[in-house]
Amino acid sequence: MIWGASAAAMVLGSAAFGQEVTIQLKWVTQAQFAGYYVAQDEGFYEEEGLDVTIKAGGPDIAPAQVLAGGGADVIVDWMPSALAAREAGLPLVNIAQPFKSSGMMLTCRNDSGVTTIEDFPGQTLGVWFFGNEYPFLSWMSTLGMPTDGGDDGVTVLKQGFNVDPLLQKQAACISTMTYNEYWQVIDAGLSEDDLTVFKYEDQGVSTLEDGLYVLEERLEDPEFVETMAKFVRASMKGWKWAEENPDDAAMIVLDNDETGAQTEKHQKRMMGEVAKLTAGSNGSLDPADYERTVSTLLSAGSDPVITKEPEGAWTHVVTDKALN
């Protein structure tokens, strides 16, 4: 009986511990990823029988490489980089899409002379690369505007992940996210009246951001699919909670920021903006959003991120299980 009780305790302890899942984020701990931290803090993962480890990202961390190396079960990535990785031979598959809208935009100083698209020719524009440049290149291609300088085109400045080129007047416009860098510009002393923004969503060239991706071969395992369905269900519960309780969600993020680099003001503001991007999503990928992303990438100038229509790059098998 003693042996039996001990064995039972071990089994119960194992069950209570939960099935382990590791998620690799695209960037550092911030409200951009609030849904996952909320799901962990509020016990939504535990309710699904999951023990989730959330790995923060950073400038030297490539989520796809972490996934390929076995360091995570699921990653957060933007679709352009995920599709590029897939075409290059790493079979990433989108299993859920918490972000319905894009937060990317160009932010311009009015005193640079840029307040309309017609003011772009002859200007220097800061653009993020590493896969983030393709919506911009597609936009310029749609406008028929060269990106190699000249009076009729624009000069592209490869922008680091900061706002210095705008503050130092090295560029008339820079890449920003609605929830992050734009507010860094404001905090640096410029007012909203000093700036003009061009949202990629409004220009019809936005691409999907912050989706959940896994390796295609793992979806052949029904147990893994079931685990991911539980993970997506709990994560989306976290996202909806964050949308409804943005200030509390921001504080949960701050509690999980081991670096101490984030501030309450910035995270609360970020959460308010991020909630606008997740609004309307139940986690399922909208085929129309996917097709727009692919079309944008295929039309991104002479060196597109993908060269052909992807096949098998997304599936509803996980979200179908999660939602039903």
Structure tokens at 52: 């989730």
pLDDT score for 14: 38
The terminus-to-terminus CA distance of the chain in angstroms comes to 42
C-alpha count within 13 angstroms, C-beta hemisphere, residue 267:
24
Sign for the pseudo-dihedral over CA of 139, 145, 147, 153: negative
d(CA 214, CA 235): 15
Alpha-carbon separation of residue 40 from 54, 57, 235, 255 (angstroms): 9, 17, 8, 12
Sequence-separated (6 or more) residues with CB below 8 Å from residue 38: 44, 238, 239, 241, 242, 249, 252
Q: Confirm whether pTM is higher than 0.75.
A: yes
Structure tokens at 4: 């039996």
Going by C-alpha positions, the residue among 104, 102, 32 that lies closest to residue 277 is 102
d(CA 87, CA 103): 25
Going by C-alpha positions, the residue among 226, 109, 233 that lies closest to residue 173 is 109
pLDDT by position in tens, the chain (length 324): 333 443 334 334 434 568 999 999 999 999 999 999 999 999 999 999 999 999 999 988 999 999 999 999 999 999 998 999 999 999 999 999 999 999 999 999 999 999 999 999 999 999 998 777 888 988 998 899 999 998 999 999 999 989 999 999 999 999 999 999 999 999 999 999 999 999 999 999 899 999 999 999 999 999 999 999 999 999 999 999 999 999 999 999 999 999 999 999 999 999 999 999 999 999 999 999 999 999 988 887 666 778 899 999 999 999 999 998
Going by C-alpha positions, the residue among 319, 232, 288, 291 that lies closest to residue 45 is 232
d(CA 119, CA 133): 20
Structure tokens at 227: 């685990």
How are the residues of the chain apportioned to helix, strand and coil, as percentages rounded to the nearest 5? 45, 15, 35
Ordered DSSP codes for 18-71 = -EEEEEE-SSSSSGGGHHHHHHHHTTHHHHTTEEEEEEP--TT--HHHHHHTTS
d(CA 113, CA 202): 21
Alpha-carbon separation of residue 266 from 108, 147, 231, 238 (angstroms): 21, 33, 28, 20
d(CA 110, CA 195): 5
Give the H or E element holding residue 176.
strand 173-177
d(CA 40, CA 54): 9
